[in-house]
Structure 1
Amino acid sequence: MSAINLIKTAIASLKFHKLRTFLTMIGIIIGISSVVTILSVGDGLKAYVLESSQETNANKINITFKPDNFDANMSLLEPFTKSDMNGIKGIKGVKDVKPSQGFMGIMSFSSSQLQYFDKNQFAMLGSYDGKNEKVEYGRWFEDGDKDKSVIVLDNNVAKELFNPIESGIGKAVTMNGINFEVIGILPQVDMMSFGGNTSYVPKKAIDNMNSNEVITSLDVSLNAGVDKKEVYKDIEKYLMANHPNIGGKYEMQDPEEVTKAFEKIIGGLTKFIAFITGISLLVGGIGVMNIMYVSVSERKREIGIRRAIGAKPKSILLQFLFEAVLVTLIGGLIGILLGYLISKVAGAFLPFKPILTMSTFVGATLVSIIEGIVFGIIPAYNACKLDPIKAIYR
Structure 2
Amino acid sequence: MFKFQFLVIDMRNFETILISLNELKANKLRTALTMLGIVFGVASVIAMLSIGEGARQETIEQIELLGSNNIIVKQKVTPLTGSETKQKVTASVGLNLKDANAISSINPFVKFITPQRESVTKLSYKSEIIDASIIGTTVNFPSTFNSRVNEGVFFQEHHLKNYSNVCVIGAGIKNQLFRFEDPLHKKIKIGKLWFDVIGVIEPKALISSNTNSGGLRNFNDDIYIPITTMMYKMEKYSLGFTNNVGWWDRVNYGTVIDRSTVNQLTIKVTDDIHIAESANLIRRILERRHYGANDFEIIVPEQLLDQKQKTQRIFNIVMGAIAGISLLVGGIGIMNIMLANILERTREIGIRRAVGARGKDILNQFMYEALTISLLGGLLGIIIGFILTSAITSYAEWRTIITPTSVVLAFFVSAIIGLIFGIYPAKKAASKDPIESLRYE
TM-score tier after normalising by the smaller chain length: 0.5 to 0.7
Whole-Å separation in 1 of the counterparts to 2:103 and 2:397? 37
Q: Which runs of structure 2 are paired with 1:298-337 in the superposition (5 Å)?
A: 298-337=344-383
Whole-Å separation in 2 of the counterparts to 1:94 and 1:326? 62
Unaligned runs of 5+ in 2: 1-8, 120-132, 135-234, 236-258
Please state if 1:221 is matched with 2:268: yes
8 Å Cα contact 1:28/1:328 also seen in 2: yes
Q: Which runs of structure 2 are paired with 1:1-394 in the superposition (5 Å)?
A: 2=10, 3-63=13-73, 72=85, 75-76=89-90, 78=92, 81-90=96-105, 92=108, 93-98=110-115, 218-222=265-269, 227-229=274-276, 231-232=278-279, 235=282, 243=289, 253-349=299-395, 351=397, 353-394=399-440
Whole-Å separation in 2 of the counterparts to 1:315 and 1:218? 75
Q: Summarize the Cα distance change of 1:370–1:260 in structure 2 as closer, same or farther, 3 Å threshold.
A: same
Whole-Å separation in 2 of the counterparts to 1:332 and 1:39? 15
Letter in 2 for 1:19: L
Following TM superposition, by how much is the alpha carbon of 1:237 offset from its aligned partner in structure 2, in angstroms?
7.4
Whole-Å separation in 2 of the counterparts to 1:386 and 1:101? 81
Following TM superposition, by how much is the alpha carbon of 1:61 offset from its aligned partner in structure 2, in angstroms?
0.8
Q: TM (normalized to structure 2)?
A: 0.54
Q: Summarize the Cα distance change of 1:50–1:22 in structure 2 as closer, same or farther, 3 Å threshold.
A: same
Following TM superposition, by how much is the alpha carbon of 1:312 offset from its aligned partner in structure 2, in angstroms?
3.1
Look up the SS of the partner of 1:361 in the other structure.
Answer: helix
What's 1:177 paired with?
none
Letter in 2 for 1:95: F
Look up the SS of the partner of 2:267 in the other structure.
Answer: strand
Q: Summarize the Cα distance change of 1:282–1:225 in structure 2 as closer, same or farther, 3 Å threshold.
A: closer
Q: List, as ranges, runs of 4+ consecutive aligned residues in structure 1 with deviation greater than 6 Å.
A: 99-102, 212-217
Following TM superposition, by how much is the alpha carbon of 1:62 offset from its aligned partner in structure 2, in angstroms?
2.8
Whole-Å separation in 2 of the counterparts to 1:97 and 1:379? 69
Following TM superposition, by how much is the alpha carbon of 1:85 offset from its aligned partner in structure 2, in angstroms?
1.2
Whole-Å separation in 2 of the counterparts to 1:56 and 1:312? 68
Q: Summarize the Cα distance change of 1:292–1:4 in structure 2 as closer, same or farther, 3 Å threshold.
A: same
Please list the CA deviations of residues 105-132 of structure 1 after superposition, one character each: whole Å capped at 9, or x if unmatched.
xxxxxxxxxxxxxxxxxxxxxxxx99xx
Q: TM (normalized to structure 1)?
A: 0.60
Whole-Å separation in 2 of the counterparts to 1:237 and 1:346? 45
Letter in 2 for 1:43: E
Following TM superposition, by how much is the alpha carbon of 1:344 offset from its aligned partner in structure 2, in angstroms?
1.8
**Which one is further off, 317-326 or 93-102?**
93-102
Please list the CA deviations of residues 190-217 of structure 1 after superposition, one character each: whole Å capped at 9, or x if unmatched.
xxxxxxxxxxxxxxxxx9xxxx998797
Please list the CA deviations of residues 320-346 of structure 1 after superposition, one character each: whole Å capped at 9, or x if unmatched.
122112101210111011111221232
Letter in 1 for 2:98: S
RMSD of equivalent CA atoms:
3.9
What's 1:159 paired with?
none
8 Å Cα contact 2:375/2:411 also seen in 1: yes
Whole-Å separation in 2 of the counterparts to 1:35 and 1:291? 23
Letter in 2 for 1:49: T
Whole-Å separation in 2 of the counterparts to 1:101 and 1:256? 25
Look up the SS of the partner of 1:98 in the other structure.
Answer: strand
8 Å Cα contact 1:94/1:231 also seen in 2: no
Whole-Å separation in 1 of the counterparts to 2:408 and 2:118? 44
Following TM superposition, by how much is the alpha carbon of 1:57 offset from its aligned partner in structure 2, in angstroms?
3.0
Whole-Å separation in 2 of the counterparts to 1:75 and 1:45? 39
**Which one is further off, 266-275 or 71-80?**
71-80
Look up the SS of the partner of 2:326 in the other structure.
Answer: helix
Q: Summarize the Cα distance change of 1:4–1:355 in structure 2 as closer, same or farther, 3 Å threshold.
A: farther
Whole-Å separation in 2 of the counterparts to 1:31 and 1:301? 34
Q: Summarize the Cα distance change of 1:77–1:36 in structure 2 as closer, same or farther, 3 Å threshold.
A: farther
Whole-Å separation in 1 of the counterparts to 2:416 and 2:117? 52
Please list the CA deviations of residues 148-199 of structure 1 after superposition, one character each: whole Å capped at 9, or x if unmatched.
xxxxxxxxxxxxxxxxxxxxxxxxxxxxxxxxxxxxxxxxxxxxxxxxxxxx
Letter in 1 for 2:14: I
Letter in 2 for 1:75: V
8 Å Cα contact 2:42/2:382 also seen in 1: yes
Whole-Å separation in 2 of the counterparts to 1:55 and 1:64? 16
Unaligned runs of 5+ in 1: 103-128, 131-206
Q: Summarize the Cα distance change of 1:37–1:53 in structure 2 as closer, same or farther, 3 Å threshold.
A: same
Following TM superposition, by how much is the alpha carbon of 1:272 offset from its aligned partner in structure 2, in angstroms?
0.4
Letter in 1 for 2:360: K
Look up the SS of the partner of 1:19 in the other structure.
Answer: helix
Following TM superposition, by how much is the alpha carbon of 1:263 offset from its aligned partner in structure 2, in angstroms?
2.7
Whole-Å separation in 2 of the counterparts to 1:231 and 1:75? 25
Whole-Å separation in 1 of the counterparts to 2:291 and 2:65? 38
Look up the SS of the partner of 2:437 in the other structure.
Answer: helix
Look up the SS of the partner of 1:348 in the other structure.
Answer: helix
8 Å Cα contact 2:97/2:115 also seen in 1: no
